[in-house]
Amino acid sequence: MSIPWRVWARKGHRWGAIIVAAPFLLVIVTGLLLQIKKEWSWVQPPTQRGQGKIPAISFEALLAAARSQPEAGVRDWADIDRIDVQPGRGLAKVQAKSRWEIQVDLATGAVLQCAYRRSDLIESLHDGSWFHERAKLWVFLPVAVIVLGLWGTGVYLFILPYTVRWARRRSGANAPATARLDPTSAASPRDAGQSLPP
């Protein structure tokens, strides 16, 4: 006896939700934080503006500016993760491996802001790379596939009662017409109002 598809859909939906509960919750929470990272300085420091739009300082000046902030823990280039140069705002964001961000004016070399940046950590949690580089492919990608399956089974289970109800109404509406066309269901003389011979 074959098991109906709706039973498989319910079981798959239930067990799929249990399997992805923890990693999907992490994806949701970190995704919400990343959505508001520009509005919440705790996640990502707000971007300042420099005095000009043409870079006038050297990389050595950027390193010196980063070194001037003891909380960042920058001693040499090995402590720098990356530099984000934004000529349109007239600044460069020097991001240290300690997750501190030093924003430097490209015209004067002055430090505009030094703050802790959590958005990169949250992004690594969001895609799974914080746990292991292969976690993105072997854990979080299957989780995404299962979530896609949950969406499909959820839509199916939502529309299933409506399709069943529609099918029942349709079959009920066609029943009288079928009965009238059935030659085996001819009325008896008594049912037709005719008198029977004595």
Reported as a single tens digit per residue, the pLDDT across 157-172 is 888 888 878 888 888 7
- pLDDT surpassing 60 at residue 93: yes
Give Cα 150 to chain centroid, integer Å. 13
Residue 73: its pLDDT value, please? 95
E strand map for the chain: 80-86, 91-96, 100-105, 111-116
Report whether 43 contacts 119 (CB < 8 A).
yes
6 vs 132 pLDDT, higher one: 132
Range of lowest pLDDT (5-14, 17-26, 114-123, 143-152): 5-14
Please report the pLDDT score of residue 197 as a whole number: 53
Boundaries of every domain in the chain: 1-43+124-170, 45-117
> Which residue in 87, 134, 34, 111 sits closest to 96, CA to CA?
111
Tell me the pLDDT of the chain averaged across its residues.
84
Phi then psi for residue 87, to 5 deg, are -60, -35
pLDDT tops 90 at residue 116: yes
Phi and psi dihedrals of 103, rounded to 5? -95, 125
